[in-house]
Structures are given as structure tokens and as C-alpha cells.
Amino acid sequence: MLKNKTVFITGGSRGIGLAIAVRLAQEGANIVIAAKTAEPHPKLPGTIHTAAAEIEAAGGRALPLQVDIRDEEAVQAAINEVVGTFGGIDILINNASAISLTPTLQTDMKRYDLMHHINTRGTFLTSKLCLPHLLKSENPHVLNLSPPLNMETRWFAPHVAYTMAKFGMSMCVLGMAGEFKKQGVAFNALWPRTTIATAAVQNLLGGDQLMRRSRMPEIMADAAYHILSRPSRECTGNFFVDEEVLKAEGITDFGKYRVDTNLSDEDLMPDFFL
């Protein structure tokens, strides 16, 4: 289904983005890693080059590109290189994201701007520039890693700036799914039921204790694979949760995804926004 399909992933040098890249590479896809990290980071694992090595080891073709998705010219240049290399774009995964779980008085405007420029603007920009190529694909999909839209105070009050920026990604799904439905381009969102063991959880949210109560990124990767394998004309405008996607595929045992296999699913930490 995904063999020789070209997948453009933003921010895929580590974490969930990398896990999705490797999973799709196992199906023989061409994977474009469009991320900022070209040199090793002192606090974060992975670069576009280490990601490319993992993708090729998994059976896919990799194109690592250093891209800041806030830069329109850089995104367009990257897309031009992808089309020149692989001939087109079939799938876009808007994974790149900035996070700061700070209340209003503790949110400086530099951090506010970063979240909105990467999360909302970056998702809109990359979608806009990939669309001319997606429209030529047989089964075009856009998947945003963003939460279900829920306009309740409890999701905004603790960190309104971050929630606005993440919901901006989800609004792109809502609007573009309707806008491009007749043309057959699918726009969907995917979010985890539990916290996921990534560098953000380790460094920003809860350290080792929260990591133990999380699932591994592979659950998101498997869910993404099933979504992206569906006919785009029949699967659009959805706000998917990883667990629900897998249950619909007949998968009910999630034990292999737990970081600490001694814990039960009830012991895991529910993710934000759910």
C-alpha cells in the first residue's frame, strides 16, 4: 500500500515523528525528514542524518533535509528537492511542534511566537506548499499530530498560549478536510491516549517517573500507518486517538507499547487534551 510512496515529515529526527518514519519505511516508503537538527544537540537525541540511517535500515529510502518550517523559502526549496528526487509527494505528516506549558504571566512573547510560528503557521505553510503535489497523488493524506478540538476552559486555562498553538493545527484539519474533500485529499489528526515516552516528556514534563507511566512512540507509528493506508476519499476530517485506531483494526492488547511492562494500562498517565 505504501511502497514507493513519498512521505514528507516535519520535525522527524526524534520521538514520534521518527517512529512514524521508521514504521512507514518498513513498508518501503520514501521518507523525507525535514527538521532543524543537523548537528547533535546536547540535550536531545537524534539528527536528520541519524534518522535517515534508521529509515534506510528499516527498508525505506531517506532524504534528510535541514529545514526550519518557519521559513517559507526554505520549505519551498525542500519541497522542490523532494519532487526532483522522488517525483512527487503522497503524504504529509505535520509533526514539528514547540511546547511550553506556562500560564499567561510566565509566557514570554518570544516563546509564544515560537509556538505559533512552528505549530500553527508551520502546519498551514507546509500543507499549503505540499498541496499542489498532493493533489496529483492517487491516495493523498495529510496527518497532523494535534489533539481533538474541545473548546472547554479546562484545556486552555493552565497554558492558553500552547493550547491555542496546538488547536491551530487541529483547525487546519477541520478547515482543509472540508476544503479539499471533493479533490480527495485527506486531512486527519492523531493524538495519543497516554503520554508518550519522548524527550519532551523526559526533559520538560515529568522526568523518569512520567516516562515509566507512558507508552512508547511505536503505538503512534502503528496508528499512523493504519490511517495512511486507508482510502483518502473515505477517511478525512477525523480527530483520531491512537488506541481507538488500533482497536478498529482488531488490536486490543497494548501491553507491548508500555515502557514499564509491569504496569497495567490503568496505571498509565492520560495525555493532555483527552
Q: Are 159 and 112 in contact (CB under 8 A)?
A: no
All three cell numbers of 242, joined, read: 491512537
Task: Dump strand ranges (E) for 47-205.
Answer: 61-66, 91-94, 141-144, 186-191
The yes-or-no answer on residue 162 being catalytic is yes
Q: Which of 112, 162, 225, 257 is catalytic?
A: 162
On the 0-12 / 13-18 / 19+ scale of CB atoms within 10 A, 189 is buried
On the 0-12 / 13-18 / 19+ scale of CB atoms within 10 A, 257 is buried
Q: First-to-last CA distance in the chain?
A: 31
Taking only Cα atoms into account, the Rg of the chain, rounded to an integer number of angstroms, comes to 17
Residue positions annotated with a catalytic role: 162
